[in-house]
Amino acid sequence: MLTSPIAPVRLAALLLVPLAGAACQRDSSRETPVTTTTPAGQSTAPPAAAVEDRDNALVRVVNAMPATPAVDVFADDRQVFDDVTYKAVTPYHEVDGQRYRLDVRAANGTGTEPLASNSEGLDDGDHYTVFALPDDDGKATLRVVKDDHSTAADGKARLRVVNGSPNGAEIALFVAGRKDAIADGVNAAGVTDYDELDPVTGTIELREEGQSRAVQTLRDVRMQAGRSYTVVVAGRSGGRPGLDAFVIEDDTAAAPQRSAR
Report which DSSP code applies to 191. Answer: B
Q: Are the C-beta atoms of 63 and 83 separated by less than 8 Å?
A: no
What pLDDT, in 10s, does the model give residues 180-221?
999 999 988 789 999 999 999 999 999 988 888 998 999 999
Query: Do strands 244-251 and 34-38 pair parallel, antiparallel, or not at all (unpaired)?
Result: antiparallel
Backbone angles phi, psi at 70, to 5 degrees: -55, 150
- For range 2-11, the mean pLDDT: 35
Residues 255, 194, 37, 49, CA torsion sign: negative
Predicted confidence band of residue 169 (pLDDT cuts 50, 70, 90): confident
The pLDDT of residue 254 is above 70 = no
The pLDDT of residue 27 is above 90 = no
Predicted confidence band of residue 252 (pLDDT cuts 50, 70, 90): confident
Q: Are the C-beta atoms of 107 and 83 separated by less than 8 Å?
A: yes
Q: Are the C-beta atoms of 102 and 75 separated by less than 8 Å?
A: yes
Task: Give CA 255 to chain center in angstroms.
Answer: 20
Half-sphere exposure of 56 (CA within 13 A, CB side): 19
Predicted confidence band of residue 1 (pLDDT cuts 50, 70, 90): very low
User: To the nearest whole number, what is the mean pLDDT of the chain?
Assistant: 84
Largest distance between two CA atoms of the chain: 51
Q: Are the C-beta atoms of 62 and 88 separated by less than 8 Å?
A: yes
pTM (2 d.p.): 0.83
